[in-house]
A = this chain, B = another copy of it.
Amino acid sequence: MAVCTLYTTQSLNSTCSISTPTKTRLGFNQKQVVFFATGKRIVKRDGGYKITCLADKTVVIGLAADSGCGKSTFMRRLTSVFGGAAEPPRGGNPDSNTLISDTTTVICLDDYHSLDRTGRKEKGVKAIKDGIAVEKPIYNHRVRDLLDFSIYLDISNEVKFAWKIQRDMAERGHSLESIKASIEARKPDFEAYIDPQKQYADAVIEVLPTQLIPDDNEGKILRVRLIMKEGVKYFSPVYLFDEGSTISWIPCGRKLTCSYPGIKFFYGPESYFGHEVSVLEMDGQFDRLDELIYVESHLSSLSTKFYGEVTQQMLKHADFPGSNNGTGLFQTITGLKIRDLYEQIIASKAAAPLEASKA
């Protein structure tokens, strides 16, 4: 059984392509960001992914997260920051996480999405139950080396459970037992192949229960942490007020009135799997989006192109899940940082084409 592999070849073609295991060929322009998303190990006996033309004008971003953890929403926010409306490939599965816009291509390596939801569940659970062996996780070192930047969405068990309850029980009528069984069934696979990827990520969005309400178990109010690795080329972590110091900030006060339990930010240097990181944290949720511009104005190194761009993006997609809390905010900020990283990489390649072709 082969695992997904990502090949890179130098190419002079003006278009690049990816061959997927389902034989779909996705063409994409050279000057694009390719988001390479995976939420599941790839179980594919007879093939792999093949991406060509990576080294030229294409920037590849890796995104990993467990199933049902908001990859689709994240991808839609990211492609929106790049200025295009992302659509599933024509003729493909409309539920697919594979999205294409003028400037971005999101390739979701989670093959669940090639089936309908029922089929996916059956196939996925069956594969796990059968104990199918996998040789390597999707983010093996060869794949990691190809990525210009990688992101991990780390949803804590408590929140994951609350989200599943909301989606599968309230919206789809599944039983609590079947949800618990499905989570339990996924666990060994998740712990072996998905979870270890976070230590290699350049940015991790961690979603935890709130600390503003003692012993909260509703899972509705979230504490979200954006963990940003220091020393990553073309990536300067966002900070609050004073770079490199430790700050907690409750913006609610004389200028901003927040309803219970309020909003609390934290910023500071930490260590994450032995790496030096900066952490920006938001606990609580916005009552109104004018609170967001107040927060945005106090954050630095956001890589916005104009004052209020974060707020504008959030307003544009106010109907997306998490727009009133740190998940939406940090997804949007991450999108801006990736756009900045993309532009810097493209500029550096344009400035030194010879060097780039050697690399």
Q: Which of A39-47, A90-98, A219-227, A246-254 contacts B (4 or more CB under 8 A)?
A: A246-254
Residue numbers in B under 8 Å from A250 (CB-CB) = 245-247, 268
> Does A255 count as interface, using CB distance less than 8 angstroms?
yes
CA distance A166 to B42 in the complex (A): 71
Q: Which of A151-159, A236-244, A282-290, A348-356 contacts B (4 or more CB under 8 A)?
A: A236-244
**Measured between C-beta atoms, what is the minimum distance from A301 to chain B in Å?**
14
In contact, A243 and B269 (Cβ under 8 angstroms): no
Residue numbers in B under 8 Å from A244 (CB-CB) = 253-255
> Does A172 count as interface, using CB distance less than 8 angstroms?
no
Digitize A264-301: 1 where CB-to-B-CB distance is under 8 Å, 0 elsewhere.
00001100000000000000000000000000001000
> Does A2 count as interface, using CB distance less than 8 angstroms?
no
In contact, B241 and A254 (Cβ under 8 angstroms): no
In contact, A248 and B247 (Cβ under 8 angstroms): yes
Counting every copy of the chain, the complex holds: 2
In contact, B245 and A249 (Cβ under 8 angstroms): yes
> Does A232 count as interface, using CB distance less than 8 angstroms?
no
Residue numbers in B under 8 Å from A181 (CB-CB) = none
Residue numbers in B under 8 Å from A298 (CB-CB) = 241-242
Residue numbers in B under 8 Å from A1 (CB-CB) = none
A241-B298, A245-B254 provided; 6 other pairs, C-beta below 8 A? A241-B241, A243-B254, A244-B253, A244-B254, A245-B253, A245-B256
A-B contacts, 22 listed (Cβ < 8 Å): A241-B241, A241-B242, A241-B247, A241-B249, A241-B298, A242-B251, A242-B298, A243-B255, A244-B253, A244-B254, A244-B255, A245-B250, A245-B252, A245-B254, A245-B255, A245-B256, A247-B248, A247-B249, A247-B250, A248-B248, A253-B268, A253-B269
